[in-house]
Amino acid sequence: MILEKINKPNDIHDIALADFPTLAGEIRQFLVKSVSKTGGHLASNLGAVELTIALHNVLDFPQDKLIWDVGHQAYTHKILTGRKEEFATLRREGGLSGFPKRKESDCDAFDTGHSSNSISAALGYVRARDLLGQKHHVVAVIGDGALTGGMAYEALNNAAVLKTNFIIVLNDNNMSISKNVGGMSMYLSALRTAQAYTGMKLSVTKSLEKIPRIGIPLVDTVRRTKSSIKQLFIPGMLFEDMGLTYLGPADGHDMRQMMKLFNEAKRVDGPVVVHVITRKGRGYLPASTDPEKFHGVGPFDVATGKPLEKKKGPSCTEVFADTMVELGRENPRLVAITAAMPDGTGLDKFRKAFPERFFDVGIAEEHAVTFAAGLALGGLKPVVAVYSSFLQRSVDQILHDVCMQKLPVVFAIDRAGLVGADGETHQGCFDLSYLSMMPDMTVMAPKNGWELKEMLRFAAEYEGPCAIRYPKGCACEEFTEFQAPLVYGKSEVLEQGEEVAVLAVGSMMKTGELVCDGLKEKGICPTLVNVRFVKPLDEELLNDLPEKHNLIVTVEENVKSGGFGEHVAAYMQERHPGCRVLPIAIGDRFVEHGSVESLRARIGLSPESILRAIEEYGV
Ligand SMILES: Cc1ncc(C[n+]2csc(CCOP(=O)(O)OP(=O)(O)O)c2C)c(N)n1
């Protein structure tokens, strides 16, 4: 096994070039076997095996800096930098992260998880290198999907004026998670189809150059011509015109070809884009035939590619997806927007039903939100479906473009709260804070699938900015006996008691109930409230509580700072200073990867730890 010889960074330099294809095959087998047990991002990693080997061959670690955009495709990089043995712990608590982590290895130059920032970070490294008189190479690897994100263009624009070496590898597999979208994607497709003619282009240019006297000026003229025939001679003109050298397109599974281009790129005094064409899921049939399904997977059977975990009940995503189709039928003005996640958000159902009312804008959350603002002003009812952590990208757009104009945009926020295995970049635990601070925003959190549907129906009619946040995984199927009609700004009292009132937000409802059970065992008869509206606060309820209660415990899967509990505490401090409030929320920290259940226990969100906190605080 060649792979056995890879145990630390740069071991690849001792492997004969002739053995590289065997090594690539062994890494693929290792990845499939390993991810089939732990789950993880498979298709992107299978597509980037040769690319990573080629890069490691021409770079030296940790001196050279390699920044992976999103970072979900960095498994081979982890293997080649001595972390092979830790793959059994991938994405488990205390184990190997699914993304690059500086604290895991000094060969990981930047922690990533959110898309389209690699060129910015790498450019920072380049400027620092130059100012400090250092000589290493800096490489950003960005996918064609990530290249739909605005930050990538801001960085390219900034990089274009650089006079020193900076390598940007464009890993183009024609896919985001789903099929890639938009004008850049179309442009890259044109470059890809030109690939077969690259040899011809070069030889045409060379032949023209040989024509005495007029040859070289002719080639120069063609280079400068502002017409598409230029494209025939020089691929990548868009980048070239911006001031970046374009090399490629290269076959991203041909390591010799790539290494030649990377070595060439290292000699350029300026920014270079090396365009490589890869195939997502390559080498494992189930993944190459359905790369979307194998983008991120749970444990699966290697022989069939079928998932090993049985599906439990319907997920919140499915409830959202079905409700959107119902609402779309009822209201022809309802439109849906996703930032490159039609499948993850469930909007693919809406797309099938109403293709002309569905918009995939690429990995462009900022644009998605302001685009929705325009749609609303144009007379439509937009629903932006997005994961909580990715919506962080759009805080100013929500505030400045939506809330300030009180526009009726609905934010359907999936993966809110802890998401588990993807770790700190993906935990959705800030949305209640950044949404609650915005004037005119309404924020809801459903206790179960029924309520999510009700909230969506409510939001579809509501005439201002409004957000519904719901968790990853199965929609809670409990509390079905509680179906009080949804009233704006009102919470739902599930159990009336005294002494302690537990106010639980959405995904923490079950935990709230278990806390109440624990209190009952101690002889306390608590009140249990389903908060429903995080904003506005249900002031009527809060004003009534002090009469029979001396402690309010709020429970939410969000950071404490700026969360529901802090707002309740501030309100009570002002209006009812005698009533004590214990906000249970995520502390001032980032929460790493692990199962949601064990993470909750570790950070004080399990029923047991909440009961302990109440005891310590004193009833
Ligand atoms: C800001 C942000 N939005 C959405 C995502 C979810 N996401 C992860 S990978 C991915 C697709 C990336 O496509 P590409 O860069 O082409 O890489 P590939 O998976 O095709 O290798 C998306 C949308 C993200 N990581 N960050």
Residues of the chain where predicted confidence (pLDDT) is lower than 50: 196-200, 226-227
Q: Whose CA is nearest to atom 17 of ligand 1?
A: 143
For the question of residue 366 being annotated catalytic, the response is no
The segment(s) of the chain belonging to CATH 3.40.50.920 are: 492-617
- State if residue 114 touches ligand 1 by the CB under 6 angstroms criterion: yes
CB of 596 closer than 8 Å to CB of 466:
no
Distance 226 CA to ligand 1 centre (A): 33
Distance 69 CA to ligand 1 centre (A): 8
- State if residue 391 touches ligand 1 by the CB under 6 angstroms criterion: no
**Relative to the CA of 180, which ligand 1 atom is closest?**
16
Please tell me the predicted confidence (pLDDT) of residue 197.
43
Distance 223 CA to ligand 1 centre (A): 34
Tell me the best of 31, 118, 175, 176 to mutate to test the pocket of ligand 1, counting ligand atoms within 8 Å of each CB and taking the most.
176
Side chain identity, residue 251: D
Classify residue 227 by burial, with Cβ atoms within 10 Å: 0-12, 13-18, 19+: exposed
The segment(s) of the chain belonging to CATH 3.40.50.970 are: 3-289, 316-469
CB atoms within 10 A of CB 184: 16
**Relative to the CA of 73, which ligand 1 atom is closest?**
21
Tens-place pLDDT, residues 400-433: 999 999 999 999 999 999 999 999 999 999 999 9
**Relative to the CA of 115, which ligand 1 atom is closest?**
26
C-alpha 412/C-alpha 455 separation (Å) is 10
- State if residue 390 touches ligand 1 by the CB under 6 angstroms criterion: yes
What topology does CATH give the domain 316-469? Rossmann fold (3.40.50)
Tell me the best of 45, 118, 363 to mutate to test the pocket of ligand 1, counting ligand atoms within 8 Å of each CB and taking the most.
363
The residues near 580 (Cβ < 8 Å, ≥ 6 apart) are 550, 551, 552, 617
Q: Whose CA is nearest to atom 25 of ligand 1?
A: 114
For the question of residue 365 being annotated catalytic, the response is yes
Instruction: Spot the catalytic one: 78, 282, 393, 560.
Output: 393
**Relative to the CA of 393, which ligand 1 atom is closest?**
1
End-to-end Cα distance, the chain: 63
What topology does CATH give the domain 492-617? Rossmann fold (3.40.50)
Q: Where are the alpha helices (DSSP H) in 381-521?
A: 388-391, 395-396, 431-436, 449-461, 509-521
C-alpha 143/C-alpha 84 separation (Å) is 24
CATH number for the domain formed by residue range(s) 3-289: 3.40.50.970
